[in-house]
Amino acid sequence: MNTATHLKRLRVHRALMTLLVLTVGVTNGAWGQSTPAPSDTALIALGQQLFQDPRLSADGTIRCASCHRPDKAYADGRRVAVGVYGRASTRNTPSLASIGRSGDTSFFWDGRRPTLEQAVLDPFINPVEMGLRDDRVLLSKLTADAAYFTAFAKRFPGTTTPITLIHVAAALSAYIRSLDQRTSAYDRYRSQHDLSTLSAQAQQGLIIFSGKGECAQCHQPNGSPVALTDHAYHRTGVGLGAVEQNLPALTQDVIERSLQGTDIGNRVATHADESQLGRFNVTRNPADIGMFRTPSLRGVALTAPYMHDGSVPTLDEAIDREVYYRSLQAGRPLNLTVREKQELRAFLEAL
User: Which parts of this chain interact with ligand HEC (CB under 6 A)?
Assistant: 62, 64, 66-68, 81-83, 89, 91, 93-94, 96, 99, 107-109, 116, 119-120, 123-124, 129-130, 172, 176, 213-215, 217-219, 234, 236, 238, 265, 268, 292, 294-295, 297, 300, 303, 306-308, 318-319, 322-323, 326, 344
- Least distance in angstroms from the C-beta of 317 to ligand HEC: 9
Burial (CB count <10 Å: 0-12, 13-18, 19+), residue 109? buried
Question: Buried b vs exposed e over 161-188: b needs ≥16 C-beta within 10 Å?
Answer: ebbbbbbbbbbbbbbbbbbbeeebbbbe
Nearer to ligand HEC among residue 31 and residue 124 (C-beta): 124
- Least distance in angstroms from the C-beta of 67 to ligand HEC: 3
Nearer to ligand HEC among residue 158 and residue 333 (C-beta): 333
Instruction: Please state, in angstroms and rounded to a whole number, the distance separating the CA atoms of residues 167 and 25.
Output: 10
- Least distance in angstroms from the C-beta of 323 to ligand HEC: 5
Q: For residue 89, which of 113, 122, 60, 116 has the smallest C-alpha distance?
A: 122
Nearer to ligand HEC among residue 135 and residue 214 (C-beta): 214
Instruction: Please state, in angstroms and rounded to a whole number, the distance separating the CA atoms of residues 142 and 100.
Output: 26
Q: How many CA atoms does the CB half-sphere of 154 hold within 13 Å?
A: 12
Q: For residue 267, which of 245, 250, 292 has the smallest C-alpha distance?
A: 250
H or E element that contains 291:
strand 291-293
- Least distance in angstroms from the C-beta of 122 to ligand HEC: 8
- Least distance in angstroms from the C-beta of 229 to ligand HEC: 8
Q: In terms of DSSP H, where are the helices of the chain? A: 3-27, 41-51, 64-67, 99-102, 116-119, 122-125, 135-143, 146-155, 165-177, 185-192, 200-210, 247-257, 261-270, 272-275, 280-283, 315-330, 338-349
Answer yes or no: are the C-beta atoms of 91 and 263 closer than 8 Å: no
67: left (phi over 0), alpha (psi -120 to 50) or beta: alpha
Nearer to ligand HEC among residue 38 and residue 313 (C-beta): 313
Give residues with Cβ within 8 angstroms of 147, minimum separation 6: none
- Least distance in angstroms from the C-beta of 345 to ligand HEC: 8
- Least distance in angstroms from the C-beta of 83 to ligand HEC: 3
Instruction: Please state, in angstroms and rounded to a whole number, the distance separating the CA atoms of residues 279 and 289.
Output: 6
- Least distance in angstroms from the C-beta of 333 to ligand HEC: 12
Instruction: Please state, in angstroms and rounded to a whole number, the distance separating the CA atoms of residues 237 and 234.
Output: 9
